[in-house]
Amino acid sequence: MTNTVDPDDDLLDRAFLALADPVRRRIVARLSRGPATVTELAEPFAISKQAVSKHIQVLEQAQLVTRTRDAQRRPVHLDPARLEALTAWIDRYRLVREEQFRRLDAVLDTRAAPRGAHREEPTMGHALYLTVPDDVPYIDFERDFDFPVAEVYRAHADPELFRQWIGPRGLRTRIDGFEFRAGGAYRFVQRGEDSAEEHAFRGVFHTVRENELVVQTFEYEGWPDAVDLEYLRFEDLGGGRCRLRGHTVHASQEARDGMVGSGMEKGMAEGYERLEELLAGLLGGQGG
């Protein structure tokens, strides 16, 4: 088994900054096939060897590559241990955010449909539209539901419901505080079913308008100072349908890009598909 070293904050900053450049990403991709000299690395690019050397220096400072001497050659190598450490760091926090909506079905399935109601399997399939603009640390999304806006809103507003679905499967959630009002704070702690390690999250509700809007901050306590500002708009489309619009401002471009690269879109899409199933169970077949 390979032991990985958890990268410190400074090294993380340098690594993600280094990989933000497309030329350096292509250099890393080339080195994944084996060592190469500066001359060999410069071949695909319409830039000088000196410019490529500067890119390699940035990658060296981020400890992503190393150089060795082989006779008259100085080949550049990837540092697999450092890349493995970065991957492990990303995976640790990806699980927390990408699957937050996945357990909502377990919550709403516990709420029985009215006695005698006929439940039909709903027709699912509304797409999640995700927008990731260039040069600004935003993420926007839009998702329609064939269910009343009040039900979608309630699943986010009720701490007992929230506790049961927030986070990926295999996590237990404890609510330490949940004042769902303007100016109210929240904090919840999650841990694996077979693990004693805990992960805590907190934030403040800045604006709360029933069935319309929630504005809140979100912070993982294990990564202090990286505070997101999240907007959730609940739009009543009439006829028992609604639309959820989200807008998140991340602490930095690098933090936003890291979140997108972690597989967040797939996790959100699957979570909202499950939300449709949950609401169908809650309303006894209504919707879809």
* Statement: the pTM of the whole predicted model exceeds 0.75: no
CA distance linking residue 68 with residue 81, whole number of Å: 16
CA 257 to chain centre: 10
CA distance linking residue 216 with residue 186, whole number of Å: 10
Q: Are 27 and 20 in contact (CB under 8 A)?
A: no
Q: Are 4 and 88 in contact (CB under 8 A)?
A: yes
98: confidence class by pLDDT, cuts 50, 70, 90 = low
Give the pair of three-digit tokens for residue 30: 């080339």
Strands 138-145, 213-220: pairing kind: unpaired
pLDDT digits (tens, 9 = 90+) for 139-179: 999 999 888 899 989 888 988 877 776 766 667 879 999 99
CATH code, residues 128-285: 3.30.530.20
Instruction: Give the 3-state secondary structure of 132-193.
Output: CCCCCCEEEEEEEECCCHHHHHHHHHCHHHHHHHCCCCCEEEEEEEECCCCCCEEEEEEEEC
How confident is the prediction for the chain on average, in pLDDT? 79
CA distance linking residue 258 with residue 260, whole number of Å: 5
Domain locations along the chain: 7-81, 128-285
pLDDT of residue 177: 97
pLDDT digits (tens, 9 = 90+) for 192-242: 778 888 989 899 999 999 999 999 999 888 877 788 999 999 999 999 999
Scan for tokens 């933000």, then name that residue: 20
pLDDT of residue 48: 86
CATH code, residues 7-81: 1.10.10.10
